[in-house]
Amino acid sequence: MRTILIGITGASSSGKSTLAYLLKRILPHSEIIHEDDFYKLEKDIPFDPVRKDRDWDCPDAIDMDAMKQTLSVLTEPNTYSKNPRAAVKDTGDGYYDYAMASTEPTIKDAFFKNDERTINELLGKVNAKLENFDSRQSFRIFLLDGFLILPDKELLKMLSLTLFFKTSYKALKSRREKRTYNVGGDVWADPPGYFDKFVWPSYYTYHKNLFIRGNDESYIKETGGNIKEEFMEEYNVFEFDNNDQCDADKLIENATLVIADKIFH
């Protein structure tokens, strides 16, 4: 069986999780792995003495090693003994399935509105593409949804391709500040100023070297940033605009067709 890993990335509130759920509906034999489910325990989240709070938006907040071990076993089952922290379960037929139950919500963001006809049309296009795909009955897809994929070159090399959804600072902040989370049965929201204190500074810090004009923060805030062409070519990254004024149907269509053209050929 061929295991295909596809990265879905962007800043927090860029729409990546919503798009991952839509792609799961369109792509056969697909599952989602959320990077957020690999967060370390709260006591192990780095504490920033300057900002006087734990930094949930830095790479050290995520158990990247466990996540990479998981991806390694899913793609190469014979590496199981070398990856004891992989979140997988034995299927009994020589392969492993992803074993972690996600805490991520499955409801689409309110701003993202798709026409069901678009989803159905894309299903038809993917199925037509699969007619000539040699491994039609022997592949599976894992969509890795995470905000810290691009800065990790080792992780990028494990992926067949990565979709990057770029969004302006203004849209990101507006969406993030409207969010609520269900944590242990309690409704939780960001404390005042959290986006400007942690979310944006961390995102910008760990991504700016990947962008054209990356040192110009005001430009990145306005545009969402354009990834350097040589980086996209080397790591098979494709970027898409996902601001509030974007056409949601066109966005999911473009993302689907990139995957179909690059994977099912």
Over the stretch 120-165, which tens digit does the pLDDT of each residue have?
A: 999 999 988 888 776 555 899 999 999 999 999 999 999 999 999 9
- 97-106, 137-146, 222-231, 242-251: lowest mean pLDDT where? 97-106
- pLDDT tier, 108 (very low <50, low <70, confident <90, very high otherwise): low
- In eight-state DSSP terms, residue 39 is B
Mean pLDDT of 157-175: 96
What's residue 110's pLDDT? 47
Position 50: which residue type? V
Domain boundaries, the chain: 2-263
Residue 102: pLDDT band by 50, 70, 90 thresholds? confident
Percent of the chain whose pLDDT exceeds 70: 92
For residue 82, with 0-12 CB atoms within 10 Å meaning exposed, 13-18 middle and 19 or more buried, which class applies?
exposed
Answer with the residue of higher pLDDT: 75 or 109. Answer: 75
Q: Give the predicted TM-score (pTM) of the model.
A: 0.92
Looking at the DSSP assignment, which residues form a beta bridge with residue 30? 141
Nearest one of 225, 211, 115 to 165, comparing CA atoms: 225
**pLDDT classification of 170: cutoffs 50, 70, 90:** very high
CATH number at 2-263? 3.40.50.300
